[in-house]
Amino acid sequence: MNPSRHFALIPAAGIGARMGAACPKQYLSLAGKPMLMHVLDTFAESPLIEHTFVVVSADDGYIRDALASASLPDKRVTVLFNGGETRHQSVLNGLHAMREQAKDEDWILVHDAARPGLTGELIERLVSALHDDEIGGLLALPVVDTLKRGDAEGRAERTVAREALWAAQTPQMFRYALLRRALEQAAAVTDEASAVEALGLRPRLIEGSPRNFKVTLPHDVALAELHLKGNS
């Protein structure tokens, strides 16, 4: 029996409205190159990843220029111009488009285009921990801050116990067949693990890294650059 392969799938069809930038946030320059290129480079350089698929909108006007100026290994990245209105739809569209390359038992690592702090070590940690798992899982961080539930007036209503709480990161790694079935059956979800959980399954939590945070607001850009330039 052939061993399962690992494919990366990057949904990158969003515009990042909260960033308020002149271009989609995945193309903002960070440490000398577009944010998305940091992600693609990390996957392309990993010997564990068979191939990377990046899903962009049909009218994306940035990806070709970004790739043309990159130094990615030949044939390690395929661009799919079939992004949806939501992350859920973009990932599902990507899964449909890569069907000829991926087998049911192959692993799919879905990663946010706006998490440029991913490293090869984190990919290896996730793949190693889940290689024989029956379900799959995701990188995540245990919650360490005290959590408050706010009311409609923005006042603290009560303190929420943080024990056993984790903040989800990506990649989120599941077998092709399971992930596709979960997303096809789920209502709108904000991450792949939620769709798998809706099937009654419990994805495994693998400790990630603070540097693997999601760039969402303008002040996040400076912090991401500090991590990338310092390789922290």
pTM, whole model, 2 decimals? 0.93
Q: Which CATH number fits domain 6-230: 3.20.20.190, 3.30.420.40, 3.90.550.10, 3.30.980.10?
A: 3.90.550.10
Pairing type for strands 136-142 and 166-175 reads antiparallel
The rounded Cα 101 to chain-centroid distance in angstroms is 20
pLDDT value, residue 75: 66
pLDDT value, residue 11: 97
Tens of pLDDT along the chain (232 residues) come to 568 999 999 999 976 555 555 688 899 999 888 999 999 999 999 999 999 999 999 999 899 988 887 776 656 899 999 999 999 999 999 999 999 999 999 999 999 999 999 999 999 999 999 999 999 999 999 999 999 999 999 999 999 999 999 999 999 999 999 999 999 999 989 999 999 999 999 999 999 999 999 998 888 888 888 888 875 5
Residues 6+ apart with CB under 8 A from 129: 137, 204, 206
pLDDT value, residue 82: 97
pLDDT value, residue 2: 67
pLDDT value, residue 231: 52
Could you give the CA distance from residue 181 to residue 199 in angstroms, rounded to a whole number? 9
Q: Contact, 33 vs 71, CB < 8 A? A: no
Could you give the CA distance from residue 42 to residue 72 in angstroms, rounded to a whole number? 10
Q: Which two structure tokens, joined as six digits, stand for 88?
A: 């859920």
Could you give the CA distance from residue 48 to residue 76 in angstroms, rounded to a whole number? 12
